Amino acid sequence: PRHGFAHTHHGDFADMTVGQYAQAFGGALQPGAWRPYEHRKLANPAPLGLSAFALTTFVLSCINMHARGVEAPNVVVSLAFGYGGLVQLLAGMWYIAAGNTFGATALGSYGGFWISYGILLTPEWGITAPDGPYAGNVASVLGFFLTGWFIFTTIILLCTLRSTLAFFLLFFTLDLAFLFLACEQYAADLGNMTASLALQKTGGLFGFLAAFLAWYNALAGIQDSSNSFFQVPVIHFPWSEAARERRASKS
């Protein structure tokens, strides 16, 4: 089936044959071959989680690029708590019920990222306030925060190397966004505001691309013959299981 995908890892389905597995699919956050859970009737949580991630990332990335002169990220707080945070976290929890380790880890973690980012931006908490606990070192602390997410995203990225192009590019652009935004904070801590601004806008650009790639994968997960006259292309890497099976069927 096109949209019933789940990630497998060592020991999950030791008794299954290759022919019983479905293909990797970014529209369901499935980076590897897997077998559908026929005994469960669960909707695909990936489009919901991807859409929550995409919209929140889109808004923040527009601000990071200073679109239309907007620089203050405060408007993101509501999205970070409500949509990118809570809704994406819930989608990740449903993936635990569905048995998708990758989807649960990715959506649950990035849902946690948005909630924690919303807390950082909430004035009442005072975490990043000029007179707060990190007075004089706010940029460095935010750099550590973003560097940690860069490392985590690199780990997730490595798990998409045998999936689809759009799926891989989603986490590749997100990884670069975290990297440039972390470097932005380190540059600001050194007082190099010119470099900091350039790095912020570059990080915003990669975040902008990641948002649209997340929407693309979400659309691929929502579309089927019952609701759409067309389906967006899903391009598998040449070394993936799906590509090898396609070549074998033609030979």
- Between CA 130 and CA 16 the distance in angstroms is 57
What are the average pLDDT values for consecutive 10-residue runs of the chain, which has 251 residues?
34 41 67 58 91 98 97 95 98 93 97 97 89 89 98 98 95 99 98 98 99 97 90 89 80 72
CA separation, residue 31 to residues 34, 155, 233, 240 (Å): 9, 13, 16, 10
Q: Which long-range contacts (CB under 8 A, 24 or more apart) does 149-153 make?
A: 149/113, 149/178, 150/175, 150/178, 150/179, 150/182, 152/109, 153/178
Three-class DSSP category at 22: strand
Q: Match 């889109």 to its residue by tokens.
A: 58
- Between CA 21 and CA 79 the distance in angstroms is 37
Tell me, what amino acid is at 202?
T
CA separation, residue 174 to residues 152, 181, 222, 238, 243 (Å): 11, 11, 22, 23, 25
Predicted model pTM: 0.86
> What is the number of other CB atoms lying within 10 angstroms of the CB of residue 248?
8
DSSP symbol at 95? H
The answer to whether 124 touches 79, Cβ cutoff 8 Å, is no
- Between CA 84 and CA 63 the distance in angstroms is 16
- Sign of the CA dihedral running 177, 99, 48, 123: negative
Residue 239 is predicted with a pLDDT of: 87
- Between CA 19 and CA 17 the distance in angstroms is 5
Residue 34 is predicted with a pLDDT of: 53
Strand partners, 236: 164
Torsion of the alpha carbons at 157, 29, 95 and 12, rounded to the nearest 10: -70
